[in-house]
Each structure stands twice: as C-alpha cells, then as structure tokens.
Amino acid sequence: MLNLERLRTLDAVARHGSVSAAAEALHVTTSAVSQQLGKLERELGQQLLAKNGRGVRLTDAGRLLSEHAARILSQVELAESDLEAHRGQVVGELRLSAFPTAARGLFPAALGALRAEHPGLRVRSSELEPEQGIAGVVRGDLDLAVVLDWYNKPMPVPDGLVKAPLLDDPADVAVPAGHRLADRDEVDLAEFAEDEWITWGEGEFCHEWLIFTLRSKGVEPIVGHRAGETHTQLGLVAAGLGVCIAPLLGRHPVPEGVVLVPLRQRVRRHVYVIWRADADRRPSIRAAVEALRTAARKLD
C-alpha cells in the first residue's frame, strides 16, 4: 500500500528538483524528507533517488512513480474539494499570494472580511511577483494567487488553472513637480525618450513590459534606478531622480513633489486571481475570490 505522505514527498522532490527545496516547500527538515523517501524505497524494494554531484536525481523508477504521484495527489485534492463542497463549510487553511501593490490595495479589506465572515478559515498570505505566484499555484504551494498582465503584454497562464478578473488598473506617468511635462493634461510615452526611468527589478514581468512598450514606440529606455515597490519608485521621483509608471492600485498616498500625468494612449494592468481547476469547487476558494472581488469593487 503506497503511503500518501511519502508520495507527496517524492512529488515535491520531483517538482522542486532537490531534497532541500522540497523540504522548504513542505515546511519540514531535509532529514524528514530523506527519511520519508528512504521508507518509500524500502517499501517498494526499488531505488528512487541517485546521487548526482552534490545533489540527487530521480532514477527511472523514481520518475515513473513521481508521475503517478502527481496524478494521485491531484485526484486526492479533487476528492477533498468535492467533500468540502458537499459540507458547504468555509474551513481549513488557505494559502494565497499577491504582487506587492495588490497585496497593499486588496488584502487588508479582503482578508479582513474573510476572517470576520469565516472564522473557521485560516488564511496565510505572502507577497510574490506574478510569475512566482503562478508557479506556486501550479506546484500546489499556494491555493490562490493575485497576478496581472498588461493591456499589450499578456501573462502566460499554464493549463489546469482557472482565472477570474478582479479589476482593470489604470496607470499614469509620475514625474517630479518641476518636470517639463508636469503641467500637461496628457502625454505620450515617446516624449520621455531623454528621461531616466525608475523601473522594477531586472527580469520582472512589469520591467519587461515597460522595456517592450517603450521600444515599440521607438524609445530606447534609459534605466536609472530599480525598485520593486511603487512607493519606493515614487520617492525616487519626488527626489528628481527620474520618472516612473504609477498604476492606481496601491500608489496612494502620492508623495509631495510628484505629479501624475495621464497617458494619451490609456495604459492599464489587468488584475486577476488564479487557482487550480481541481480545487474549483472548494467553498474556501469561492469565498476568497468573492472577498477579493468585493475589495476590488470598492476601489472603482
């Protein structure tokens, strides 16, 4: 008889690529992971892991069983989802993430409402960039993630995930109060060809979007500073160190010395929440999605 917890451990090693990463994802020690896998190997009479330099790799038997384990665990989650739906109770643990401005703009109201309306539900939240949130949901480390894409650059969403829109988030350009374009009713991005940009971290989806969008307008961007948080970016703008894109969500209060100038071609982020299709019937998922939608409507 295969032990479900040991299959979960093997699945985590297969998905995360190492014993230490699996231990971190499962919130256990590396020793506990090794012990579970050792017991599984003894029960099966087959080697599942082999040394690979300083790490490990799955053997042929390990890969075969890990593929079955992924399907078994998906079926178990589906069964749990159906049972939770049959009970109709919003209970248990819910793990969710959001990119920083969504966490600031949506989580306080949404998570506060969930606690008040469903005291039997234990919510665990974290700030993660969209790509990390999607990966966490795919791996099963998260139940929900609030993510985004831009009007001209969609965020790829893997098969097996469900998504629901939360809001369209308009963005302006933030400039120092003394900037040459600060008194304009609207501007075009091409007019900032000579300005230094304050942008997100290298490789982040929003940074890649900004570079892509500016280049599509014939502008080779000058990146002066990088900051993951909108308020940090706005603080740098207030100091006269450059300009930045300032989405509405999570930007208030705008620092003194910063002027927000609307763009002639309206720029919007599409904010939505994703979860795994096999968890679709869980009342806790439905309750969280509704709480997030309610919080989003209050921002309109």
Q: 272-283, pLDDT tens digit by residue?
A: 999 998 888 888
DSSP the chain: ---HHHHHHHHHHHHHSSHHHHHHHHTS-HHHHHHHHHHHHHHHTS--EEEETTEEEE-HHHHHHHHHHHHHHHHHHHHHHHHHHHHT---EEEEEEE-HHHHHHHHHHHHHHHHHH-TTEEEEEEE--HHHHHHHHHHTS-SEEEEEEETTBPPP--TTEEEEEEEEEEEEEEEETT-TTTT-S-B-GGGGTTSEEEE--TT-HHHHHHHHHHHHTT---EEEEE-SSHHHHHHHHHTTS-BEEEESTT-PSPPTTEEEE-BSS-EEEEEEEEEEGGGTT-HHHHHHHHHHHHHHHTT-
The pTM (predicted TM-score) of the whole model is 0.75
pLDDT score of 59? 93
Which among 60, 80, 245 has a CA at the least distance from the CA of 152? 245
pLDDT score of 294? 97
* Site of tokens 């968890």: 279
Long-range contacts, 204-213 (Cβ 8 Å, 24+): 204/129, 204/131, 204/228, 205/129, 205/130, 205/131, 205/148, 205/149, 205/155, 206/148, 206/150, 206/245, 208/153, 209/150, 209/152, 209/153, 210/245, 212/152, 212/153, 213/150, 213/152, 213/153, 213/189, 213/267
Q: Which residues of the chain have pLDDT under 50?
A: none
For the four alpha carbons of 1, 26, 77 and 119, in that order, the dihedral sign comes to positive
pLDDT score of 8? 86
pLDDT score of 297? 94
Which among 124, 131, 170 has a CA at the least distance from the CA of 288? 124
Summarised one tens digit per residue, pLDDT across range 128-170 is 999 989 988 887 889 999 999 999 999 888 888 999 999 999 9
Summarised one tens digit per residue, pLDDT across range 235-269 is 999 999 999 999 999 788 999 999 999 999 889 99
Cβ-count burial 235-257 (b if 16+ within 10 Å, e if not): bbbbeeebbbbbbbbbbeebeee
pLDDT score of 280? 83
